[in-house]
Chain A
């Protein structure tokens, strides 16, 4: 069903009742799997992804590393980033569950779309993670898509970032991602179109959109993927809204990590830190 853009101009509400600058509900958890080095679960609206990080560990055929792809559809791991001799290799594998979208689509093994997602995530994280600290090792990031409703790449990047934080892998900053779009189609050639933040599946189908990821709270763009036709004049606005959305996403991810950390310190699992004020004493 086509998105009724006239309704947007009347009420300034999108199909799911959001305003132009509103994110969907983001719910995230870390340390969802006790046995893994790092794990996370992330929901952006109805997009639900799960991530498990193994490593940094010795690459090669070790017991845990064999048989990474279980059921569903997906591709093999794609490695990227730093050269193996210099730093850890970041290998990402994505499995998209057959039941994740409305129609049960069988994705071929080695699907180009999945391969591209894998290498995008791998490169983005390899740039932020301090891989030089772990020479001759590999960081395996395994992502599972449980439900799809737009902004898939953004959700995958966010989940992978959280899992890496949980695994205690040093990184420059969070890589936070979100999508941005425009209120009218390319064909409409509407110069006055508003930018939109965080597209859902329906909007993603109808409207031009891009995925942007930034390094933490800075304006440094780590990932910028645009797969639709859009007038170049509209791109700037979309990018600005996207970058702002990334900052909001970073705050949300940060809050999840802090909450978990505070609970662990309270429970006595981790020793308390020293405040900087205490440090000034001597």
Chain B
């Protein structure tokens, strides 16, 4: 059979032309020489990357790349030190950050790593004897001990065995909640708490999962993660919870117990109202206008993520107002909540232009 020559493939950018394998070389197979050349090339590449932090400021580091040989730096997350050397080598693909003498690499994308004080939205995956296991998008499930929730009937109430038996009446599998990271274990596991009236079970809304603090856009840590937005088109007030872990909750605003303080004096009354609503899984009635505006905010959040923009209070508020404007100018009026594809790009362009 004659030699078959396939049609040429598309031009390989950069790596196609391989100067080491010139035509004169192919007559004799000389693996030794070839290997040494390959080595030299790889070594040269490494040196170039190590000496300059690379020329372009958009450059990233990749796994196995030597960041520095200088022993004055300390290694942080995303790096390791090769045995018996002082060179700090990147272990993830990402951008280099430094804190004084500490070098770390922030990955382009990774799972959420909990930190004490983070506000997170999570979902109960498992109910155990004295605690719940909560999915917060991290490498491990977080735990929420029974002692770390507000029990109905007063903050000062003692936890009893009856509470342990009734653990499912507070949170059952699949329930969503907003909580704060209280404590971290050495292995990266987190302990949550909901001992504030701001935290607790979530209802009356919609859940969106975007990428969180792990890297690569998404929700960023900011001054305010929870706020109430007065929606347009008669939607009424809408609560938005941006969990640092990238889980977002958008719901109809219901009057919180804090709001009741003025009307009812005395701490016992507040706690009774807590017991009535706090662990309810029943949604309130939500008007179609409110549902539509919740849907629009959800569209804004996903459009922000799709276009690689950060998700924080400022961006969501501006994005929402922009989306309302866009709906008004489009043919269908306020009913038009679609923000995918071109509409999302248009929204992102409007936000970045300012």
Chain A residues with CB under 8 Å of chain B are: 1-2, 4, 7, 11-17, 19-22, 25-26, 31, 34, 37-38, 55-58, 62-63, 88, 130, 133-137, 165-174, 194-195, 216-217, 237, 240-241, 243-244, 247-248, 250-252, 254-255, 257-258, 260-262, 264-279
Closest to A217 in B: B42
- Residues 74-121 (chain B) with a chain A CB within 8 angstroms: 78, 80, 89, 91-98, 106-111
**When A17-B3, A170-B91 are in contact, do A272 and B57 touch as well, CB less than 8 Å?**
yes
Closest to A252 in B: B15
Closest to B123 in A: A63
The residues of A that contact B308 with a CB separation of less than 8 Å are: 264, 267-269
Among listed B58-66, B198-206, B271-279, B286-294, interface-contacting one: B58-66
Q: Which one of B26, B53, B92 lies within 8 Å of A21 (CB-CB)?
A: B26
The residues of B that contact A168 with a CB separation of less than 8 Å are: 92-94, 107-111, 214-215
Give the CA-CA distance A101 to B45 in the complex, in Å: 38
Q: Which one of A16, A268, A273 lies within 8 Å of B309 (CB-CB)?
A: A268
Mostly helix, strand, loop or mixed at chain A's interface? loop
5 tightest Cβ-Cβ pairs between the two chains A and B = A168-B110, A273-B95, A173-B64, A275-B53, A261-B60
Give the CA-CA distance A142 to B92 in the complex, in Å: 20
Q: How far is the CB of A277 from chain B (nearest CB, A)?
A: 6
Q: Which one of B10, B63, B107, B216 lies within 8 Å of A174 (CB-CB)?
A: B63
- B135 is an interface residue with CB less than 8 A from chain A: yes
Mostly helix, strand, loop or mixed at chain B's interface? loop
The reply to whether A275 and B57 form a contact with Cβ atoms under 8 Å apart is yes
Closest to A282 in B: B100
Q: Which one of A15, A55, A266, A275 lies within 8 Å of B54 (CB-CB)?
A: A275
Q: List 17 A-B contacts (CB under 8 A).
A: A1-B1, A4-B1, A13-B3, A22-B18, A25-B9, A63-B125, A130-B91, A170-B92, A171-B64, A194-B29, A240-B31, A241-B31, A260-B108, A261-B93, A268-B308, A271-B97, A276-B52
The reply to whether B93 and A165 form a contact with Cβ atoms under 8 Å apart is yes
- Residues 295-330 (chain B) with a chain A CB within 8 angstroms: 306, 308-309
**When A135-B187, A240-B32, A268-B308 are in contact, do A217 and B60 touch as well, CB less than 8 Å?**
no
Q: Chain B: how many interface residues by the 8 Å CB criterion? A: 76
The residues of B that contact A195 with a CB separation of less than 8 Å are: 29, 31
Can you name 20 extra interface pairs (CB under 8 A) apart from A168-B92, A268-B309, A273-B59?
Answer: A12-B26, A12-B27, A17-B4, A22-B21, A165-B63, A170-B92, A194-B29, A195-B29, A217-B45, A237-B31, A241-B34, A243-B35, A244-B34, A247-B41, A257-B62, A261-B59, A262-B56, A273-B60, A273-B106, A276-B67
The reply to whether B3 and A264 form a contact with Cβ atoms under 8 Å apart is no
The residues of A that contact B64 with a CB separation of less than 8 Å are: 171-174, 216-217
Q: How far is the CB of A45 from chain B (nearest CB, A)?
A: 9
The reply to whether B42 and A13 form a contact with Cβ atoms under 8 Å apart is no
Q: Which one of B15, B61, B106 lies within 8 Å of A248 (CB-CB)?
A: B15
**When A168-B107, A168-B110 are in contact, do A16 and B187 touch as well, CB less than 8 Å?**
no
Closest to A7 in B: B3
Q: How far is the CB of A229 from chain B (nearest CB, A)?
A: 20
Please, what's the 1-or-0 string for B207-238, where 1 marks a CB less than 8 Å from any CB in chain A? 00000001111000000000000000000000
The reply to whether B58 and A262 form a contact with Cβ atoms under 8 Å apart is yes
Q: How far is the CB of B8 from chain A (nearest CB, A)?
A: 9
The reply to whether A276 and B35 form a contact with Cβ atoms under 8 Å apart is no
Q: How far is the CB of B209 from chain A (nearest CB, A)?
A: 9
The reply to whether A261 and B94 form a contact with Cβ atoms under 8 Å apart is yes
**When A168-B94, A273-B96, A275-B54 are in contact, do A56 and B111 touch as well, CB less than 8 Å?**
yes
Q: How far is the CB of A66 from chain B (nearest CB, A)?
A: 12
Give the CA-CA distance A261 to B106 in the complex, in Å: 12
Q: Which one of A26, A165, A269 lies within 8 Å of B62 (CB-CB)?
A: A165
- B182 is an interface residue with CB less than 8 A from chain A: no
Give the CA-CA distance A275 to B98 in the complex, in Å: 10
Closest to A59 in B: B140
Give the CA-CA distance A251 to B43 in the complex, in Å: 12
The residues of B that contact A217 with a CB separation of less than 8 Å are: 39, 42-43, 45-46, 64
Give the CA-CA distance A30 to B108 in the complex, in Å: 12
Give the CA-CA distance A247 to B67 in the complex, in Å: 20
Q: Which one of B15, B25, B39, B53 lies within 8 Å of A276 (CB-CB)?
A: B53
The residues of B that contact A248 with a CB separation of less than 8 Å are: 15, 18, 38
Q: How far is the CB of A173 from chain B (nearest CB, A)?
A: 3
Give the CA-CA distance A22 to B111 in the complex, in Å: 38
The reply to whether B60 and A262 form a contact with Cβ atoms under 8 Å apart is yes
**When A170-B78, A271-B106 are in contact, do A134 and B63 touch as well, CB less than 8 Å?**
no
Q: Which one of A243, A265, A277 lies within 8 Å of B95 (CB-CB)?
A: A265
Give the CA-CA distance A44 to B342 in the complex, in Å: 33
Closest to B61 in A: A273
The reply to whether A251 and B42 form a contact with Cβ atoms under 8 Å apart is yes
**When A17-B4, A130-B91 are in contact, do A273 and B31 touch as well, CB less than 8 Å?**
no
The residues of B that contact A276 with a CB separation of less than 8 Å are: 52-53, 67-68, 96
The residues of A that contact B306 with a CB separation of less than 8 Å are: 34
Please, what's the 1-or-0 string for B139-169, where 1 marks a CB less than 8 Å from any CB in chain A? 1110000000000000000000000000000
Q: How far is the CB of A182 from chain B (nearest CB, A)?
A: 10
Give the CA-CA distance A169 to B107 in the complex, in Å: 9
Closest to B210 in A: A34
The reply to whether A275 and B29 form a contact with Cβ atoms under 8 Å apart is no
The reply to whether B21 and A19 form a contact with Cβ atoms under 8 Å apart is yes
Q: How far is the CB of A82 from chain B (nearest CB, A)?
A: 14
**When A137-B140, A241-B34 are in contact, do A62 and B125 touch as well, CB less than 8 Å?**
yes
